[in-house]
Structures are given as C-alpha cells and as structure tokens.
A and B are shown apart, each in its own frame.
Chain A
C-alpha cells in the first residue's frame, strides 16, 4: 500500500494531522491534509475489495444525507460508505422535504441539528450553501457538492485514482475538459491537483470558461487537441443537456466535433494516459464509448474509490466525537 510523502515528519500523530471540523471544500486544506485523507482512503480500498471482517466503527452514529439537488451516484456512494462503517444512514431528498413548502435553508439546518445527527452530508444547488449550514450545526458537515463551488470528495477520489494508477500526482499533466464554468468538480479538482503539484490544464469553449481561471494556477486552453499534447490524465466533465442547445454551445454535434474525446484525439496524449469522467457520461458527446470502455479508462475505478474516500472522510470527521485516542 502506498503512503504519502507529503506529511511533514514533525507533525505529531492524532487529531493535529487533520484539524478541520467540516469538509466544506478543498480550499483551505494543506497538501499534507489532502494526502492524509488519501492515505486513509487507501486502507478502505483494500478492505472493500477483500470483504474483510466488518469494521463498524460508526455504529450507533446517525448520518443524514441531506440532498437538496437530485443525485443518484453520490448519494448512493455516501449511503454505502456510511453503512459499511455501521452508521445509521438516513436520506433526505429535497423533493420530499419541507424545503418545497418554503422553509429556509437555515431552518432546515436547525431542524436536522435538533435531530442530533452525528454527521451531515449535504448537496445543494447554491454555491456557499454548505458552508452556511456548517456554521449553524453542532456536528461535522460534509460537502457533497454546492452549486458551482466545490465537490471535495469527488476531487479526493479523482486524486486517489490518479495516485494509484500513475504512482504519483506531482508532475502529472492533467487536462480537465468540458463545462468548467458551471463545474464544482473542476474547481475542487483544480484546487486539489495544484496543491499536490500536478500541472493542470483546463479546456473549454470560452463560453464555458470562467473569467480569471488562470489565477487558480492552471493553464486555460480552447483548443482540445493542443491541450491534450503529452497529457498524463484526461478528465472529461459532463455537459448538461440544457447547455448544449444554443445557450452556451451551438449543438451536441458541434461540441463533439471540438471537444469530444475520441480514440484519435486520445492519441495526442501520452501513450499510457489515463481517462477519467465523474459521471454520468454522455456517451457519444463528450466521450466516445470506445474511449470510455478502453483499458486506459479509470471511470469505474473512480466510482470504487468514491466509496473508499467517503468512508475515510466519515471516519476522520467523526473521530473527535467518537473519542478516538489523540483526536478527542
């Protein structure tokens, strides 16, 4: 099993390794803290694969997954992660909640808090919503995606995938291509990968590229072929259907022509380049099936790493409350 070399030798073991109460974003995490979460996740990868003796360390704790925005895979991944660790997992869907009846976000947060959750996982359509809730509740809060802002566990699972497949993150040339403007996955990945010393290129038509993205330490490209030159990792982003019909790009056909990842395009990248996608994929639009199902594709492995990373985050964030030695 691989260990990170990012952790300062002087750092004492225990809670000081990860002093944060919540995980609202990659922003604010030190490189060694990101590496620590990846190291913790590694142990769960092995455990999940071998179906080893169940480790129910979160037994008796209540985990609420409060999803104000529809999600299938992230919700499922958090639910499985919690259940593998023995937590009592409760899912709250916005469609079934009083949010529809006009309750404010803060009131919803106070309600969840009053139910004495031990950890709350939140997805919300507004940037900053998770931080707003985190300020109001007594238990750790995990961001499962807030608007266009951050999706930290996605960035961690992507980093873990790259580290396992490529051996290291530092020095890797990573191309993130797609709807960067609306993507929390892109933002969290940029923060995590640049913190871990990868060379990050972002590629999108200018209509889907945020202003001043270069200030985040990445190189912007509009020409996908140029961006792919020598890439070690190609990370495709999903393009929402409603943004493909003229609002931001003229058509899916034109988008595929300029930004679709085909086998021919992939040939521009390094010979052993890794292909990634956070899912769900639009096969035949941003990624061809031949690429998605290629041996170099790590897309299903990303999903697997997702469970491990979320187990690690749930474990680490509840250590203080569980009185784990060195953390309490």
Chain B
C-alpha cells in the first residue's frame, strides 16, 4: 500500500525546498513533488506544513525515547560511555536492537577497552554487532601513540572516529572556561585553548593515517580555524556543535546555574560568534543535541560538584531553526546539519527526501510559538539551560520507515 503525504512543504538537503506530495511504499520514499496520488493510497494532508528528513542525533548520552520522539529524532548515535561501556559485541548488539522499530539506535563503540585510552577495543567485532563508528566518549585519549593506532585501525575498517576534544591535562578538575565569569564565581576553569590543542593533535594524526575524524562538539574560534585549514588540505574531518554553544556564552553560568554546566563548557561571547560564523561558512557539519538528561540528584549541587550535561533532544529543532530565522543557514542546509551529515558520519544512506531512501520523516510547523519549560519535558530530566526561552517550531508528526510513531 502507498502512503501519500500531500500538500507539504518538502525540505531536502539535496533537492532543496519544494511544494507538493511525498509517496511512501514499503517504508521507502518512492516519489516526491507534484506527483499524482494513486487512487488506493492512504492520504495524509500536511496542510502546507514542513516535511523534512527525520533528525539523526549524533552522540546522545542516554536512550530517552519519549524525548527523541518529541524532538523529531528518528535515529541516534549512542555514546560509548554507557554502563557497561559499549566495548563488547553483546552490549553493542543489545543497544542496537532495543529501540526498534520506532527509534534506531546506532551505537558508537568504544575505541579503546573500557574507554581507558590504553588498549584497542574490538572494533570490527563491535561493527558486526551493529556499531556504526568508534569513539572516545566524553573523554580524551591522552596518549598520542594510542590515538595514532586507534585512527590507523579505524581507517582500515572505513569507520569514523568520534572524539571529544579537550586536552585532559589542561581541563583536569575544571568545570568552566577561564574568563571573567569563572574568575568572579571562583570556579575551577581551563583555558579555551584546551580544545584547539586537542584538535590540532588529532587533525595531524588523522591526516597522517588517512582516517575519518568526527569531532563531536567544537566550540572555539581557534578550533574552527584549525578545522577550516585541515578541510582545505583534504583531511577527512567533520565536526559538530550543540545549540547551547551557538546561543549561550559562559555568562549563562552566572549564579552558579548547574543546568549550564556542560562539557565542553560554555565559551566566551567571541567564541560563540565564531561558532555562528563557522555554521554559516560550512565549517560545522553537524548540529546535535548532546542529550544527557540529569536529575536533581546530579544537578541540585554546588556547580563544581554537579554533573555536566543538558537535556537537549526536545529543543534541538526550535533552537536550530533560530539559525534559519537569523539567516545564518537556509532551511535545506539546516537539514544537512541535522539529518544528512550526521547520517553520513555513521555511514548511513539516509537523511534526505530522495527517492529510494528510508521514509524517516518529520512534519513540523516552523512558525508555531512555544516556551521552553523544563518541567513539561517528555525527557527523563528537565536540565535545560534554555528554561523559559520563547521559541518557534513545533514537531507535529514523525514517521520511521514509513510508520508513524
């Protein structure tokens, strides 16, 4: 049977923005645009609202189905720092299967055993169990020799290495970026160059090995300069960022707001401006939620004792749409950042509305206004640094493989 989504504004990272219909058969997109609707098709009138590829959220810390559904997220790349760590085929396979059919979880397996940064993990075995990439988790591999071998080995397997870029020596014990806010509050802080320092090394190692490197969150001007230059040299590097680092600076930490305690920490206003420029010029490839719900037992603590992280899944789309409204990116490019590019990092042929691709779809009203209220979240915790912010853009319906969820 054919499912016809009619009268939609179709947004495709490849095809651009068109008005028309989208036909689905057997969970696959079979036609788009001003196509005729078969008589026996089941029809859903989209009433002119926006139909886009479902969001692929690269690098979530927890499986939080309700939050992903509410945020229009149909696939997630799951961070390896789970309990137990994703370094064993049994654990990887379980993670890869438990979300189906509504949510497809693509595990990012640990690059080193137990994420300890010493011995190579069984990457190929984990791939066969369903992993789509390997990663360093929330940590950094301090030993350059180990990192070199991780990248070389991953290159053989043609998978991306997803890294967290902060030089551990500089960031040891730090919970904020060195600057006026951290100084006034008396918070342990690390200089922002901790990020560029880590990235400079990993770019050289990636260049030397020919490996694919994806830096999950890049947040400083110096880092963007390094990545821009590396891309020009042909290094296979991609990078991501969260809406928090695009819309907030370290001033949000004032009053010891632990909901603004993130890793990497919020940066200076000039770094935030550099991030906006890097989104606009194409240096940034992926926007992710870094969804990491943390309850009061981990957040209602003195700032330095609280856990880093934010519940970001439900606010990812409206906060990303602010970039379109501010004319930093076009709407179709936004869905390259939210869907197609993260899918490509994971080696998935999805994230567009092209014919033949999985019918992973998101219908949203890009105008609908609402106010972010942590207490009303579907997520398992309400730790958003954006609490109270008025936004526009509401998820209406979501399909995974042609099936509404």
CB–CB B184/A132 < 8 A: no
**Chain A contacts of B179 at CB under 8 A?**
211-212
Write the chain B residue with the least CB distance to A129.
Answer: B302
Partner of B183, one of A104, A150, A216: A216
Q: Does B98 contact A (CB under 8 A)?
A: no
Write the chain B residue with the least CB distance to A184.
Answer: B186
Partner of A147, one of B183, B184, B302: B302
CB–CB A127/B303 < 8 A: yes
Q: Interface digits, A117-153 against B, CB 8 Å rule (1 contact, 0 not)?
A: 0000000101111011000000000000011111000
CB–CB A104/B256 < 8 A: no
Q: Does A198 contact B (CB under 8 A)?
A: no
**Chain A contacts of B191 at CB under 8 A?**
211
CB–CB A131/B304 < 8 A: no
CB–CB A104/B300 < 8 A: yes
Task: Please give the distance in Å from B325's CB to the nearest CB on chain A.
Answer: 32
**Chain A contacts of B180 at CB under 8 A?**
212, 215-216
Docked complex: A208-258 residues within 8 A CB-CB of B: 210-213, 215-216
CB–CB B302/A127 < 8 A: yes
A contact patch SS: mixed
Q: Interface digits, A183-217 against B, CB 8 Å rule (1 contact, 0 not)?
A: 01001000000000000000000000011110110
Task: Please give the distance in Å from A242's CB to the nearest CB on chain B.
Answer: 14
Given contacts A132-B256, A212-B179, A215-B180, contact A127 B186 (CB under 8 A): yes
**Chain B contacts of A124 at CB under 8 A?**
302
Write the chain A residue with the least CB distance to B189.
Answer: A211
CB–CB A128/B297 < 8 A: no
CB–CB B183/A215 < 8 A: yes
CB–CB B303/A212 < 8 A: no
Task: Please give the distance in Å from B193's CB to the nearest CB on chain A.
Answer: 11
Given contacts A131-B256, A210-B178, contact A105 B302 (CB under 8 A): yes
Q: Does A106 contact B (CB under 8 A)?
A: yes
CB–CB A210/B182 < 8 A: yes
CB–CB B300/A127 < 8 A: no
CB–CB A131/B183 < 8 A: no
The distance in angstroms between the C-alpha atoms of A52 and B25, with both chains bound, is 94
Q: Does B387 contact A (CB under 8 A)?
A: no
Q: Does A293 contact B (CB under 8 A)?
A: no
Q: Does A46 contact B (CB under 8 A)?
A: no
Write the chain A residue with the least CB distance to B190.
Answer: A211
Write the chain A residue with the least CB distance to B191.
Answer: A211
The distance in angstroms between the C-alpha atoms of A131 and B182, with both chains bound, is 16
Q: Does A301 contact B (CB under 8 A)?
A: no
Docked complex: B165-217 residues within 8 A CB-CB of A: 178-180, 182-189, 191
**Chain B contacts of A210 at CB under 8 A?**
178, 182-183, 189
**Chain B contacts of A150 at CB under 8 A?**
186
26 residue pairs from A and B, CB less than 8 Å apart: A27-B184, A104-B297, A104-B301, A106-B300, A124-B302, A126-B301, A126-B303, A127-B185, A127-B303, A127-B304, A128-B302, A128-B304, A131-B256, A132-B301, A147-B186, A147-B304, A149-B185, A149-B186, A210-B183, A210-B189, A211-B179, A211-B189, A212-B179, A212-B180, A215-B180, A216-B184
Residues on B close to A: CB < 8 A?
A: 178-180, 182-189, 191, 255-256, 297, 300-305
Residues on A close to B: CB < 8 A?
A: 27, 104-106, 124, 126-129, 131-132, 146-150, 184, 187, 210-213, 215-216
